[in-house]
Amino acid sequence: MKLEVKNICCIGAGYVGGPTMAVIADKCPEINVNVVDKNEKRLKGWNSLDLSLLPVYEHGLDKLILRCRGRNLHFSNDLEKHISEADMIFISVNTPTKSKGIGAGQASDLKWIDASAREIAKYARGETIVIEKSTLPVRTAQTIKEILDSSSLLNQNKKFTVLSNPEFLSEGSAINDLENPDRVLIGGDDEDSINALTKIYLKWVNPEKILTTNLWSSELSKLSANAFLAQRISSINSISAICEATGADIKDVSKAIGTDSRIGEDFLNAGPGFGGSCFKKDILNLVYIANHYGLKEVASYWQKVVDINNWQTKRVSSLIVEKLFGTISSKKIAILGYAFKANTNDSRESAAISVSKELLNEGGNICIYDPKVSISQIKSDLVEDPIHLSNLEKSEGGWASAPTAIEAIKGSDAVVILTEWEEFRSLNWSKVASLMRPPSWIFDTRSIIDLEDAKKYGLNIWSIGLGN
């Protein structure tokens, strides 16, 4: 297998493919990088002259796009052309949890992986290194190999090797994670292919941070890493409920736990539940794999991490109804933050979706503000719920959006902070109190506001993990 990579193709222009290829293009100007996708709306965003319309929001991404796009970074729907020209192809497509069929609700839906492998088998020319970038179940590479090998048998001029190179990105800091990774993991059994990919990363990554394993260890490492991180969030959220019941303060408990060098301080911030595209999906995939191999106790253990997360989200919405005298029918509730975490426009599996739907089901009128999530995305998430309303005053169980936090708060009975955006930490509580209908409630599910300052203006406060 040749070692010189001149053309890279990435199938999938989403939250992983776009930023990853932008960094590779920036660090390796001698390599031509083409990102291909069939989603025309997404491609239009990547190619827009208005960088605020990029489909992915990440700090610093716009500068990379401005520097590389049109030079050695291109976004296109021409799969045949760019696959055929590529020396190296990254598969970075969505792998959602199956909604029906065998393994529904747990197993990953690999239809886009299968489709990508078949496109590669059809259009690739000569020697091609195929790299799994999507998060995949263990031994998915075998499926990809079999599809590609069947093509090689029919055309002796084609030769494929498959590597696993999972991403370990944290949305909101993806560009920094890519430019300064904790580690780069490459799984495979072909030394030349591994060296070719390693050579690319060595342009900016310290060689000590590049780890190599076999394919199956690499695939499982990604699933396990996400499961361990999610486990920490569910663990601290379970403790937050105990804090509220006993009078303890979750911030104090988190700090005390985090100072233990064996535990560390990361992922110990209590909240309304984890979200994003990976945590829940990957844990459920582990549950499915464990059950498949007859490891029932293992499956039960990881299922409980998801159960606690769902319980925490439901607990938040139930508390809101309880504090508002047992009913929110026709009451206005301001939802501040809709993305699953700050510094991203990704709302997939966001706790805000579940909380919003629960409040709508209770007859509440909610007004949503998020600085980065679009109205169209919110509409898509709440598609089964009441329509987007322009006037909430006389409705029951409807939602609207607002251009600012203050606009969302006007006339509300309660404010619910669901995403830890920086602007919510320093709200003008005097103004907030004057705009709300008393008795006014603030529900701080991220434990980020100045409680004493807010209380000065007669606001009732519930903060996660804070006992009364």
Structure tokens at 430: 């005097």
Query: CA 364, 434, 333 angle in degrees (round to 5)?
Result: 10
Residue in the block written with tokens 């529900």: 443
Structure tokens at 414: 């309660």
Catalytic residue check, 28: no
Identified catalytic residue from 9, 10, 68, 278: 278
List the one residue out of 55, 31, 51 whose CA is nearest residue 42. 55
Structure tokens at 301: 């253990």
Q: Judge contact between 9 and 89, C-beta under 8 A.
A: yes
List Cβ neighbours of 50 (8 Å cut-off, separation of 6 or more): none
Residue in the block written with tokens 């579940």: 354
- Half-sphere exposure for 18 (CA within 13 Å, toward CB): 25
Identify residue 339 by its one-letter amino acid code: A
Residue 333 bridge partners (DSSP): 366, 414
Pure H helices in 202-295: 215-246, 250-258, 279-292
Helix (H, G, I), strand (E, B) or coil at 448: coil
Output the CA torsion 318→322→326→329 (10° steps): -60
Residues forming the active site: 278
